């Protein structure tokens, strides 16, 4: 392991033309390294590729595509700017498969780590997810060791021997944008909360809707957490005592997450906190692990659902705005769990700019089927829920029309009869 000052790092010594560079996403992006790589990209001597996840720091800009090809599994955060410019190539993959795909193809891995006080061992800090398996596979591992990153508890750490280059920094990690919930979100969240039993183990997705659901669970007791990410609403629920992880049985007694996405208060709460455990995707998204969790309850958002139960979580209109993500992984895990609940929540409609009401329960999807109809479970809108499990096509149509917006139900009935 060699140490460099950030301005002394020569990128051409580590990145070659044709390489794939992978780095941590969201709050775990090593921004000193990523900003330096983009500033020094022409020194590489040819085109290279990067794989990125959620882009809270908005480091990548369309002009970087002069020598950089950008891939991602999602169009979240700053990635939407790249989508609008036609500079983002989407990998439509289940999240559970990402770690294998990325670990097997990463040439250079950029990490943001936390110092532990032991010079030979570091904490993954804010993200373990698909990064941990890439450590052993990448040709070069470059770590930004940031003393403002929380040291998080985990069975997975990284040693000095596994790192080729270290750059030490002290700067605030990228922060997750606030996800305010409106009255519609609150109404949907209340319907979801009514379905969730005390003692359930929760998974929640990214965004305002899942956050509103967690806030609506404030009166529940003995909940557990096993999720791809930890957000501020989950932190509030844990801090309030609503989450105890007491009913996980043989499973982890801590809240298990792959990624921490929040603000400074979130980071402070997670620092050396035995109630929070960071884990890789191979554990957080594993179907067998999820199936063993009692009453595993997956709560995810969607763009639209068709009358067969297919779910589009990727494209709104003609714009790519979401991801395949981990929804199918978690829905399948919830379906296999004893007492599990595979939930997808969305508004029944939205108002277009021209004043038209546009339904989110639709006859046919306007984008891809991110979740197959066979994996659909319970669909929730502000008008109630439709449990599609074990239901025929006709029963599904009727149940979904019943939770669509009242102004749109007649048209859906006509379309369903065609």
- The pLDDT tens digits for 285-310 are 999 999 999 999 999 999 999 999 99
Q: What pLDDT shows up at residue 250?
A: 66
pLDDT, position 132: 95
Band (pLDDT 50/70/90 cuts) for residue 209 is confident
Domains recognised in the chain with CATH numbers = 2-169 (3.40.1080.10), 183-417 (3.40.1080.20)
Average pLDDT over residues 148-158: 96
Q: Is the pLDDT of residue 418 over 70?
A: no
Q: In percent, how much of the chain has pLDDT > 70?
A: 99
Nearest Cα neighbor of 392 from 309, 319, 281 is 309
Query: Tens of pLDDT along 305-359?
Result: 999 999 999 999 889 999 999 999 999 999 999 999 999 999 999 988 888 999 9
Q: Report pLDDT for 341.
A: 98
What is residue 357's predicted lDDT score, i.e. its pLDDT? 93
Section 207-213 average pLDDT: 88
- Distance separating alpha carbons of residues 127 and 52, to the nearest angstrom: 13
Each residue of 224-241: pLDDT tens digit? Answer: 999 999 999 999 999 999
Q: What is the pLDDT of residues 122-151, one digit of tens each?
A: 999 999 999 999 999 999 999 999 999 999
Q: What is the mean pLDDT of residues 80-103?
A: 93
363 pLDDT more than 90 = yes
For 166-191, what is the mean pLDDT?
Answer: 93
Average pLDDT for the chain: 95
pLDDT for 317 equals: 86
Task: Note the pTM of the prediction, 2 decimals.
Answer: 0.95
**Res. 251: pLDDT tops 70:** no
């Amino acid at each position: 392991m060699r140490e460099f000052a950030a301005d002394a790092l020569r990128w051409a010594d580590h990145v070659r033309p044709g390489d794939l560079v992978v780095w941590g996403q969201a709050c775990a992006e090593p921004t000193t390294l990523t900003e330096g790589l983009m500033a020094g990209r022409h020194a590489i001597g040819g085109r290279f590729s990067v794989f990125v996840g959620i882009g809270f720091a908005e480091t990548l800009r369309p002009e970087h595509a002069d020598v950089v090809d950008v891939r991602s599994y999602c169009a979240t955060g700053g990635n939407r700017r790249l989508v609008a410019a036609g500079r983002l190539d989407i990998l439509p993959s289940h999240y559970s498969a990402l770690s294998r795909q990325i670990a097997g193809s990463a040439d250079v891995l950029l990490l943001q780590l936390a110092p532990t006080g032991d010079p030979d061992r570091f904490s993954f800090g804010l993200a373990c997810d698909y990064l941990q398996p890439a450590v052993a596979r990448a040709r070069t591992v470059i770590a930004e060791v940031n003393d403002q990153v929380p040291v998080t508890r985990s069975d997975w750490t990284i040693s000095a021997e596994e790192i080729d280059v270290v750059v030490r920094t002290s700067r605030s990690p990228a922060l997750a944008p606030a996800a305010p919930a409106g009255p519609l979100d609150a109404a949907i969240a209340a319907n979801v909360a009514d379905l969730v039993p005390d003692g359930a183990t929760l998974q929640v997705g990214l965004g305002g809707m899942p956050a509103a659901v967690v806030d609506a669970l404030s009166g529940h007791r003995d909940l557990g957490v096993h999720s791809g990410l930890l957000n501020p609403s989950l932190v509030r629920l844990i801090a309030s005592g609503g989450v105890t992880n007491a009913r996980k049985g043989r499973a982890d007694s801590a809240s298990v997450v792959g990624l921490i996405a929040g603000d400074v208060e979130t980071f402070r709460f997670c620092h050396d906190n035995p109630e929070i455990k960071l884990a890789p995707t191979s554990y957080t998204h594993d179907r067998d692990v999820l199936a063993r969790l009692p009453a595993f309850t997956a709560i995810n958002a969607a763009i639209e659902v068709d009358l067969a139960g297919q779910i589009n979580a990727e494209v709104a209109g003609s714009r790519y705005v979401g991801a395949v993500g981990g929804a199918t992984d978690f829905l399948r895990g919830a379906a296999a769990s004893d007492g599990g609940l595979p939930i997808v929540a969305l508004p029944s409609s939205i108002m277009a700019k021209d004043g038209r009401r546009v339904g989110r329960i639709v006859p046919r999807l306007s984008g891809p089927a991110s979740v197959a109809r066979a994996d659909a479970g319970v669909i929730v809108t502000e008008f109630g829920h439709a449990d599609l499990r074990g239901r025929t096509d006709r029963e599904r149509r009727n149940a979904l029309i019943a939770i669509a917006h009242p102004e749109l139900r007649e048209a859906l009935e006509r379309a369903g009869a065609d």
